[in-house]
Amino acid sequence: SGGIDWWDVVKLLLEINVAYCIIFVVFVCLTVIAALNIITGVFVNEGLAMARMDHDLRYQADLRESRAMAARLHNLFQTIVKHSHQSISMEEMKRALQREDVSTLFSVLGIEITDAAAFFDLLDQDHSGFVEIDEFVVVCLRLRGRSGMMNMEISIQEISGHTKKIVSLLRSSFEAMERVERRLTKLYKLHQATPMTQLAQETESGVSDVNSELSCFD
């Protein structure tokens, strides 16, 4: 660097004491390491800044792509809708999917539809029998380019529907069984405290009630 040679300094320190020479060497090593750390830190910071910038650019690109896709789905929805209610019925969806232009648009968007009814049920999130534009756009955005995911979503929806029906049936069955148990308990108490003539009448009435409750299990 144009300055004094380090060996000249070391020779002077050796004449004084070896310990000073060792301290000087350690000082030089630490200085070099510190300089390397500073240089490395500069490069790392630059790399992180570039990575953040790349992430932001990728996020903006994904956002622009999603907005463009939403606009295309909005136009596709308007292509399918044939009335002023701004919603699609099952029959309209089936007729629309038979049209070549609509099926081509779905294919371009990466949505492969094999079952129109199942696809409509998947779009109809609130089970109203009609698909609103928000439902259409959100579900299609979730399914775009993932044809296997649509089959999975349909299967999950079917399983969820069957589960709800089973739970409802079990709840109704348990309620009916509780009513039967209460009536049988009432008949038993009447048997303990009621004369035979009145008991026969009460028993006949109670048995008919129990039979009516049990009929729900048929």
Is 205's pLDDT higher than 70? no
Boundary-marking domain end, from 34, 60, 86: 60
What integer best gives the mean pLDDT of the chain? 75
Q: Are 136 and 88 in contact (CB under 8 A)?
A: yes
Q: Specify the DSSP element, H or E, that contains 125.
A: none
In a domain, 109, yes or no: yes
Is 145's pLDDT higher than 70? no
E-state strands within the chain: 87-89, 130-132
Residues 108 and 170 in one domain: no
Q: How many helices (H) and strands (E) does the chain have?
A: 8, 2
Residues 186-202, mean pLDDT to the nearest whole number: 60
Give the distance, in angstroms, between the CA of residue 146 and the centroid of all CA atoms in the same chain.
14
The reported pLDDT for the residue numbered 199 is 47
Residues 135 and 87 in one domain: yes
E-state strands within 53-144: 87-89, 130-132
Mean pLDDT check: name the lowest of 30-39, 59-68, 72-81, 203-212.
203-212
Is 154's pLDDT higher than 70? no
Q: In whole angstroms, what is the distance from residue 207 CA to residue 213 CA?
A: 10
In a domain, 159, yes or no: yes
In a domain, 194, yes or no: no
In a domain, 68, yes or no: no
In a domain, 208, yes or no: no
In a domain, 212, yes or no: no
Model confidence at 115, in pLDDT bands (50, 70, 90)? confident
Angle at 62 between CA 58 and CA 63, to 5 degrees: 115
In a domain, 210, yes or no: no
Residues 136 and 116 in one domain: yes
Is 209's pLDDT higher than 60? no
The reported pLDDT for the residue numbered 159 is 75
Residues 12 and 52 in one domain: yes
Residues 30 and 13 in one domain: yes
Tokens of 67: 């907005």
Residues 116 and 173 in one domain: no
The reported pLDDT for the residue numbered 75 is 82
Type of residue numbered 198: Q
Residues 141 and 160 in one domain: no
Tokens of 119: 């696809």
| Reported pTM | 0.44
Tokens of 211: 């039979």
Give the distance, in angstroms, between the CA of residue 3 and the centroid of all CA atoms in the same chain.
67
What percent of the chain has pLDDT above 70? Answer: 75
Sequence-distant (≥ 6) Cβ neighbours of residue 213 within 8 angstroms: 176, 179, 180, 183
Residues 149 and 160 in one domain: no
Sequence-distant (≥ 6) Cβ neighbours of residue 38 within 8 angstroms: none
If one counts the domains in the chain, the total is: 3
Give the domain range for residue 31.
6-60
Residues 137 and 86 in one domain: yes
Is 2's pLDDT higher than 70? no
